[in-house]
Amino acid sequence: MVEAEPTFEPDKELLVVVCLNTRLVMKGWHVVSLGSLNECLAKVREVLRPVLLTGSYGFALVHNHPSGDPSPSEADRRFTRRIDEAAQMMELRFLDHVIVGMLALGGAPYFSFREAGMI
């Protein structure tokens, strides 16, 4: 039996890996995990598997915060560090981890670990 990819549900966290070629053009994307209202669980191997299987040069991660606040949690920070360490060991280019929220009180509607100097 073939299972369909989960669809986006704005009240649940969704983690997606975007696979990129050497020119940093998107080769494709893969849903890694569909979580709950405030949590999305994934293992490092689940993130890197589609990157390796597609022969990608690099990748980026994207997930949403249903609360609308794109600020990273401590769990987001730890997870990103673990992915970065694993990607370096595998000689893969980890370009960014972007958390999407909503524009709130003049703030940005997203948080980029790369822009924040955390990758």
For the chain, list the domains and their CATH numbers: 32-112 (3.40.140.10)
| Distance (Å) of CA 29 to CA 50, 55, 59, 82 | 8, 13, 9, 20
Residue by residue, pLDDT tens for the chain (119 residues) are 444 455 666 788 999 999 999 999 999 999 999 877 777 889 999 999 999 999 999 999 999 999 889 999 999 999 999 999 999 999 999 999 999 998 555 667 999 999 999 99
Is the pTM of the predicted complex or chain greater than 0.75? yes
Query: Is the distance from CB of 26 to CB of 19 less than 8 angstroms?
Result: yes
Helices (H), the chain: 44-53, 74-89
d(CA 32, CA 48): 10
- Which residues, in sequence order, are CB contacts of 25 under 8 Å at separation 6+? none
Q: What is the pLDDT of residue 70?
A: 93
